[in-house]
Amino acid sequence: MHAFASVDTEDISTNTSANEAFQEIVRRAVDRRGFLKAGAGLSAALFLAGPLAACASRGRGPESALLGFQGIPAATDDAVAIAPGYTATVLAPWGTPLLTGAPTWKADGSDDAASQAMQVGDNHDGIHFFPMDGRSDEGLLVINHEYTTVENGEYIWLFGRERRKALNPERVAKAMNAHGISILHVTRNAKGKWQVKPRSLYNRRITASTQMKLAGPAAGAAALRTRADPSGRRVLGTFNNCGNGWTPWNTYLACEENFNTYFGSASQSDTRTAAQKRYGIEPGATAYGWEKFAERFDYAREPNECNRYGWIVEIDPFDPKVQPRKRTALGRFKHENAAVTLAADKRVVVYMGDDQRGEYLYKFVSEAAFHPGRYNPDLLDAGRLYVARFDDDEVEGDLMGRGEWIPLDKAANPDLAADIRFANQADVLIHTRLAADAVGATKMDRPEWVAVHPHSGEVYATLTNNDKRTEVNAPNPRKENIYGQIIRWREAGGDAAATAFEWDLFVLAGNPAVYTDRLDPKSGSANITPDNMFNSPDGLAFDQAGRLWIQTDGKYSNRGDYAGQGNNQMLCADPVSKEIRRFLVGPAECEVTGISFTPDSRTLFVNIQHPGENGNSHWPDGGTAIPRSATLVITKDDGGIVGT
């Protein structure tokens, strides 16, 4: 997220554990494989099979059978650019009236808290289209609203005139209502235009104040009880919902990411516990200021409230009567997204990243199997949570190394059984990061989205960047990693429930226009060219055909290390040839995030988040308008499948 101009909380590592053992090992791996030398001759062979050599030398992509569109150049305009033959239109920007009786959005941003509760929220992030009866022209579009821009470019309270120093209960209530989730009943009309269906009973807002439940093994635990909720099972709201997931039983998963930035204290003394520090809670006031008006956000007054955030929230978009559930079995950390797949025996597997420097990749395997056609209400409440360790040992073929999923299970893992910090499994789940530290997980360069290939079951994950990395390891092979990389792994036996895997790196982003020596790690891997380069991969998803869509949330200065990379963007990759092509460029100072297709793959929904986060955009309304986060509806002009 980009909540603050000066402080990006994911950028501050709070991980001081000592899992650095294999830094050495990996350096060997990199040398042995010539991994970073891709494009530089002999040693490149491994990393760029066949056509990619042509890609690098010609500077324009070879003809991947999978990628049918023409790549576009980088751009710095305050506009959306898209591949020729495609159109992107705007749907449901922040403030769009959603509930019956919602007022028209006021163009100066002056709507009050009550209005905001009936309008689409701010800073669209994760998104999913749930078709009605399998249709591709009607469904429920569910959108996360990650945060509100707090300092520079303050839009939600009278842009340019009011600042956070003028916070009051009404403004904080509006901010809380701009967070959360929107559920929109959308239809496509005969002319192909998508719109929100007015007065639909499915239209719904979930905010930072919506009543929901804590469910699973940690529900009711002492550390989840507060004065307002002695049961430890009832919680108000969800916020900082970043990426998302969805289940085969048609529920939506909203992932709570930087929850720590909402908890502060007016107390002069620093009452933070070791665990609160490990989760990045800072002393004193927050930029959001909620703690000034809602006591539960003051950790000195209500120390357990913060333990009730940092979870994955399961929402039934089709049934407003079912309260959202925070699924504690999936662990508590700064959740990015949730990539759901099925194991060979149909148990549910959820892959998850914890987005902060030096944090980990996780997976959950359910106890019970998924049964199509049956009611599967609580499959995510029982199962085993694992954290990833990436080793560097020789693996035949082109993979870099092996890895292991380490159980975060008090009963099954001797390291945790002996650790008195965890009295029971609830403690392990509430303090997942501490448990992962204790079992030797591998520190990664800010894990963002995970995506599972629809045919091979191989898993891909974005490691967005880590410019503070001082010691490398195999999957994170660059110091001061300003560009990021995408890692992938293959589970043993092709079974998502396996506890062993093999992995390699799919791409190292870089800038080969600035760093023209392809031996320079900053030039990126060989599938990065001056024509497709980008930084900070973040959103990630496969379409049904197996194209890998990559969205960026990076530096858009277009200068220095980022010269020629332009605004944040969306690219598409062929996972076999490794070719990458730029498909879309977002408007000024935005991030491109969230991705979902209709069942026919002919409509693609993505989000433009925080356009003009530093005050330099008027997208999408133009003129002198306040910039607004919004969804883009992308179609091919000939009605074809997106990506072809």
Residues within the interface to ligand FEO (CB under 6 A): 1, 10, 146, 242, 257, 336, 355, 448
How near is the Cβ of 24 to ligand FEO at its closest, in Å? 29
Decide: 484 and 445 in contact? Cβ < 8 Å: yes
Residue number with CB closer to ligand FEO (180 or 383): 180
The residue sitting closest to Ca ion, measured at its beta carbon, is 553
| Cα torsion through 534, 538, 542, 546, rounded to 10 | 30
Q: Which helix (H) or strand (E) holds 54?
A: helix 51-58
Which is closer to ligand FEO, CB of 239 or CB of 299?
239
List Cα–Cα distances, 466 to 241, 277, 469, 520, in angstroms.
Answer: 22, 20, 6, 17
For residues 573, 574, 577, 581, the Cα torsion angle rounded to the nearest 10 degrees is: -40
Cα-to-chain-centroid distance, residue 131:
22
Question: Rounded to the nearest 5 degrees, what angle is found at the Cα of 42, between the Cα atoms of 41 and 48?
Answer: 75
Q: Which residues contact 128 (CB under 8 A, 6 or more apart)?
A: 141, 142, 244, 245, 246, 252, 596
Pick the closer one to Ca ion by CB: 185 or 335.
335
Planar angle of CA 102, 107, 109, nearest 5 degrees: 80
Using DSSP bridges, classify how beta strands 444-445 and 325-327 pair: parallel, antiparallel or unpaired: unpaired
Closer Cβ to ligand FEO, 336 or 391, answer by number? 336
Residue (1 or 52) nearer to Ca ion, CB: 1
Binding partner selected for residue 354 from Ca ion, ligand FEO, none, CB under the kind-specific 5 to 8 Å limit: none
Task: Please provide the DSSP assignment of 340-393 as one string.
Answer: EEE-TT-EEEEEEEE-SEEE-EEEEEEEEEP-TTS--TTGGGSEEEEEEEE---
Tell how far CA 166 is from the center of its chain.
31
Q: How many helices (H) and strands (E) does the chain have?
A: 8, 31
Q: Report, in Å, the least distance between residue 395 CB and ligand FEO.
A: 30
Does 391 bind Ca ion (CB under 5 A)? Our answer is: no
Does position 257 interact with Ca ion (CB under 5 A)? The reply is: no
- DSSP element (H, E) containing 196: strand 194-196
For residues 205-244, which are near Ca ion according to CB under 5 A? none
Q: Which is nearer to ligand FEO, 10 or 579 (CB)?
A: 10
Length of the chain, in residues: 644
Minimum Å gap between C-beta 255 and ligand FEO is: 9
- Using CA atoms, how far apart are residues 342 and 327, in angstroms rounded to an integer? 18
Q: Is 542 helix (H, G, I), strand (E, B) or coil?
A: strand
- Pick 242 or 435: Cβ nearer ligand FEO: 242
Closest separation in Å from C-beta 77 to ligand FEO: 24
CB of 355 to ligand FEO, least distance (A): 3
For 508, other C-beta atoms within 10 Å of its C-beta total: 26
Q: How far apart, in whole angstroms, are the C-alpha atoms of residue 82 and residue 582?
A: 9
Q: For residues 52 and 463, which CB has a smaller minimum distance to ligand FEO in the complex?
A: 463
The site string for Ca ion over 408-447 (x = CB under 5 A, - otherwise) reads ----------------------------------------
When the beta carbons of 146 and 391 are compared against ligand FEO, the nearer one is 146
Residue number with CB closer to ligand FEO (381 or 448)? 448
For Ca ion, which is the closer residue by CB, 4 or 293?
Answer: 4
CB of 428 to Ca ion, least distance (A): 26
Of Ca ion, ligand FEO, none, which one does residue 256 interact with (CB within 5 to 8 Å by kind)? none
Binding residues for Ca ion, how many (CB under 5 A)? 4
Q: Is the peptide bond before 521 cis (omega within 30 degrees of 0)?
A: no
Q: CB of residue 3 vs ligand FEO: minimum separation in angstroms? A: 9
CB of 432 to ligand FEO, least distance (A): 16
Helix (H) / strand (E) containing 5? none
502 binds, among ligand FEO, Ca ion, none (CB under 5 to 8 A by kind): none
String of DSSP letters for 444-457 = EE-EEEEEE-TTT-
- Closest contact distance (angstroms) between CB of 261 and Ca ion is 12
Nearest to Ca ion of 431, 628 (CB atom): 628
Whole-number minimum distance, CB 118 to ligand FEO, in Å? 25
- Give strand pairing partners of 206: 181
Q: Contacts with Ca ion in 445-504 (CB under 5 A)?
A: 448
Distance set, CA 449 to CA 1, 239, 542 (Å):
13, 18, 11
Alpha-carbon distance 550 to 571, whole Å?
5
From 374, 326, 327, 318, select the one nearest 346 (Cα to Cα): 374
Closer residue to ligand FEO, CB minimum distance, 1 or 175:
1
Residues linked to residue 445 through DSSP beta bridges, in sequence order: 357
Contact 500/519 with Cβ under 8 angstroms? no
Least distance (Å) between residue 553 CB and Ca ion: 4
Q: Return the one option of Ca ion, ligand FEO, none that residue 257 interacts with (CB less than 5 to 8 A, by type).
A: ligand FEO
Contact window for Ca ion (CB under 5 A) among 1-9, 56-64, 220-228, 299-307:
1-9
1 counts as binding Ca ion under rule CB under 5 A: yes
Q: Report in angstroms how near the CB of residue 461 gets to ligand FEO at its nearest.
A: 12
Q: Give the SS3 label for residue 110.
A: coil
Choosing among ligand FEO, Ca ion, none, which partner's interface includes residue 404 (Cβ < 5 to 8 Å by kind)? none
Closest C-alpha to 527, from 574, 487, 489? 574
Which positions from 554 to 573 touch Ca ion by CB under 5 A, shown as an x/- string?
A: --------------------
In angstroms, give the least distance from the CB of 449 to ligand FEO.
Answer: 8
Q: Token match 């070879």: residue?
A: 62
Minimum Å gap between C-beta 466 and ligand FEO is 12
Q: How far is the CB of 123 from Ca ion (least distance, A)?
A: 7
User: Which residue lies nearer to ligand FEO by CB, 336 or 531?
Assistant: 336
Interface residue with Ca ion among 445, 553, 579, 589 (CB under 5 A) is 553
- In 3-state terms, what secondary structure has residue 630? strand
Q: Binding marks (x or -) toward Ca ion, 512..551, rule CB under 5 A? A: --------------------------x-------------
Nearer to ligand FEO, 485 or 603 (CB): 485
Q: Which residues make up the interface to Ca ion (CB under 5 A)?
A: 1, 448, 538, 553
